[in-house]
């Protein structure tokens, strides 16, 4: 093979890898706009987004304080917004917001009596003429700290709205001109900053599932702790619950956990969260190819695969 052919192959490889690894939208968008190849957005809509969490620090004994809000993420004022909160099937006060400006939010809180150690479910729904959004989360359960095929309990481990993880995601994804794709930047942080430790060395038990905030605080974890943290960060970064999961699987040597992500036109991709961004493309495949997936879950979904 001539040196010119090799050079062409090398250039093509670099372009393919750059497309996969780098966030090219920040580079291409201004060029496309200047060339008028991209139509300017001409639609005006309000887009509601509901959010909520349990504020344990401000919950009196025997009660839980729930903070919830609705925001307008669209480009048009939302009129006559209805915001409903339902706890364990019981409707709480429904709020009527006559007008919610662009980028504005309305915040509320309620206090519900609830025995600790029991699973409670909060459902929030907001609607106006243009938009509907719903979000649900559970709280109060004594978490098993190990794999549970109780679907609600497994979901509790993935925490995309946990404030410390949202702040960490923002810090990792701070603007840069030639930045990595967000999922690679986040895996890079997890792979570089969390050290592998067996659960019995840290917790004195064979298996102990950590919440993402605990893994960040400890800076250590094992396979499911890495996966729960990375899945939470990817959900916090905006990946849909249809597009990113913690996967529990096995090979002849035992069980393992990793993260599976839908990269759109590139399809589904299994990634090993204990590795940093350098494992992307080849390393992930070498590490994970002999595992069979058994379950996958995130904060909203739980599926048994085989």
Query: Between residues 162 and 225, which has the closer beta carbon with respect to Ca ion?
Result: 225
Closest by Cα among 54, 58, 61, 51 to 120: 54
Query: Between residues 38 and 219, which has the closer beta carbon with respect to Ca ion?
Result: 219
Q: How far is the CB of 232 from Ca ion (least distance, A)?
A: 14
Q: How far is the CB of 122 from Ca ion (least distance, A)?
A: 27
Query: Between residues 133 and 222, which has the closer beta carbon with respect to Ca ion?
Result: 222
Q: How far is the CB of 202 from Ca ion (least distance, A)?
A: 8
- Cα 65 from Cα 63, distance rounded (Å): 7
Query: Between residues 71 and 227, which has the closer beta carbon with respect to Ca ion?
Result: 227
Q: How far is CA 21 from the centre of its chain?
A: 19
Q: How far is the CB of 182 from Ca ion (least distance, A)?
A: 25
Query: Between residues 133 and 225, which has the closer beta carbon with respect to Ca ion?
Result: 225
- State the DSSP H helix or E strand holding residue 153, giving kind and residue range, or none if neither: helix 151-155
Q: How far is the CB of 271 from Ca ion (least distance, A)?
A: 18
Q: How far is the CB of 298 from Ca ion (least distance, A)?
A: 18
Query: Between residues 166 and 218, which has the closer beta carbon with respect to Ca ion?
Result: 218
Number of other residues whose CB lies within 10 A of the CB of residue 152: 12
The footprint of Ca ion (CB under 5 A) covers 199, 208, 222, 225
Number of other residues whose CB lies within 10 A of the CB of residue 31: 10
């Amino acid at each position: 093979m001539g040196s010119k052919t090799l050079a062409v192959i090398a250039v093509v490889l670099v372009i393919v890898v750059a497309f996969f690894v780098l966030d090219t939208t920040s580079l291409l968008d201004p060029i496309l706009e200047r060339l008028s190849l991209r139509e300017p957005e001409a639609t005006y809509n309000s887009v509601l987004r509901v959010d909520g969490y349990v504020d344990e620090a401000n919950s009196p004994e025997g009660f839980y304080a729930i903070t919830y809000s609705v925001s307008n993420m669209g480009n048009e004022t939302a009129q006559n917004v209805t915001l409903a909160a339902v706890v364990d099937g019981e409707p709480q006060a429904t709020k009527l917001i006559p007008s919610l400006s662009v980028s504005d939010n309305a915040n509320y809180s309620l206090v519900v009596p609830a025995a600790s150690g029991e699973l409670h479910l909060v459902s929030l729904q907001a609607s106006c003429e243009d938009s509907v959004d719903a979000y649900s989360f559970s709280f109060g359960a004594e978490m098993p700290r190990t794999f549970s095929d109780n679907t609600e309990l497994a979901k509790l481990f993935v925490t995309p709205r946990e404030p410390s993880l949202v702040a960490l995601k923002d810090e990792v994804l701070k603007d840069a001109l030639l930045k990595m794709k967000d999922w690679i930047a986040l895996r890079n942080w997890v792979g570089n900053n969390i050290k592998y430790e067996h659960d019995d060395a840290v917790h004195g038990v064979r298996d102990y599932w950590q919440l993402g905030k605990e893994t960040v605080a400890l800076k250590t974890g094992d396979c499911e702790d890495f996966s729960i943290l990375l899945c939470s960060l990817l959900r916090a970064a905006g990946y849909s619950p249809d597009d990113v999961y913690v996967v529990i699987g096995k090979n002849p040597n035992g069980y393992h956990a990793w993260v599976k992500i839908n990269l759109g036109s590139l399809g589904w991709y299994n990634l090993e969260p204990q590795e940093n961004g350098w494992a992307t493309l080849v390393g992930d495949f070498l590490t994970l190819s002999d595992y069979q997936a058994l379950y996958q879950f995130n904060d909203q979904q739980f599926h048994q695969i085989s």
